[in-house]
A = this chain, B = another copy of it.
Amino acid sequence: MRVHAYAAPAAAAPLAPTVIERRAVGANDVLIEIKYAGICHSDIHTVNGDWGLQPYPVVPGHEIVGIVAEVGADVTRHRVGDRVGVGCMVNSCGRCVNCRNGDEQYCLEGMVPTYAGTDRDGTVTQGGYSTHVVVDADFVLSVPEGIDLAAAAPLLCAGITTYSPLRHWGAGPGKKVAVVGLGGLGHMAVKIAHAMGAEVTVLSQSLKKQEDGLRLGADHYHATGDPDTFERLAGRFDLIVNTVSARIDVDAYLGLLAVDGTLVNVGAPGEPLSLNVFSLIGARRSYAGSMIGGIAETQEMLDFCAEHRFGADIELISADQINEAYQRVLASDVRYRFVIDTATLG
A289 partner, pick from B273, B274, B280, beta carbons under 8 A: B280
C-alpha gap A288/B168 in the complex (Å): 16
Tell me if A275 and B273 are in contact (CB < 8 A).
yes
A284 partner, pick from B273, B281, B284, B290, beta carbons under 8 A: B290
In the assembled complex, A268 has its CB within 8 A of some CB on chain B = yes
C-alpha gap A266/B280 in the complex (Å): 10
In the assembled complex, A291 has its CB within 8 A of some CB on chain B = yes
In the assembled complex, A285 has its CB within 8 A of some CB on chain B = yes
C-alpha gap A106/B273 in the complex (Å): 26
Tell me if B287 and A280 are in contact (CB < 8 A).
yes
CB neighbours of A108 from chain B (8 A): 235
| Closest beta carbon of chain B to A222's beta carbon, Å | 21
Tell me if B235 and A284 are in contact (CB < 8 A).
no
In the assembled complex, A259 has its CB within 8 A of some CB on chain B = yes
A288 partner, pick from B101, B235, B251, B287, beta carbons under 8 A: B287
In the assembled complex, A122 has its CB within 8 A of some CB on chain B = no
CB neighbours of A259 from chain B (8 A): 98, 101, 103, 106
Closest to A268 in B: B277
A89-112 residues with Cβ-Cβ distance < 8 A to B are 97-98, 101, 103, 106, 108
Tell me if B262 and A281 are in contact (CB < 8 A).
no
CB neighbours of A56 from chain B (8 A): none
C-alpha gap A291/B281 in the complex (Å): 6
C-alpha gap A106/B277 in the complex (Å): 15
Tell me if B262 and A280 are in contact (CB < 8 A).
no
Tell me if B262 and A269 are in contact (CB < 8 A).
no
A282 partner, pick from B106, B251, B282, beta carbons under 8 A: B106
C-alpha gap A279/B272 in the complex (Å): 10
A56-87 residues with Cβ-Cβ distance < 8 A to B are none
A 164-201 to B, binary, CB cutoff 8 A, 1 in contact else 0: 00001000000000000000000000000000000000
Known A-B contacts A259-B106, A268-B277, A275-B275; the reply to A286 vs B288 at CB < 8 A is yes
C-alpha gap A290/B278 in the complex (Å): 9
In the assembled complex, A46 has its CB within 8 A of some CB on chain B = no
In the assembled complex, A265 has its CB within 8 A of some CB on chain B = yes
In the assembled complex, A276 has its CB within 8 A of some CB on chain B = yes
| Closest beta carbon of chain B to A199's beta carbon, Å | 16
A194-229 residues with Cβ-Cβ distance < 8 A to B are none
C-alpha gap A269/B291 in the complex (Å): 29
CB neighbours of A97 from chain B (8 A): 258
Tell me if B290 and A281 are in contact (CB < 8 A).
yes
CB neighbours of A276 from chain B (8 A): 268, 272-273
Closest to A259 in B: B106
In the assembled complex, A283 has its CB within 8 A of some CB on chain B = yes
C-alpha gap A279/B288 in the complex (Å): 9
Q: Can you list 5 A-B contacts with CB-CB less than 8 angstroms, sorted by A residue number? A: A272-B274, A272-B276, A274-B275, A280-B287, A287-B287
Known A98-B259, A272-B277; further 4 A-B contacts with Cβ < 8 A: A280-B288, A280-B289, A285-B289, A286-B286
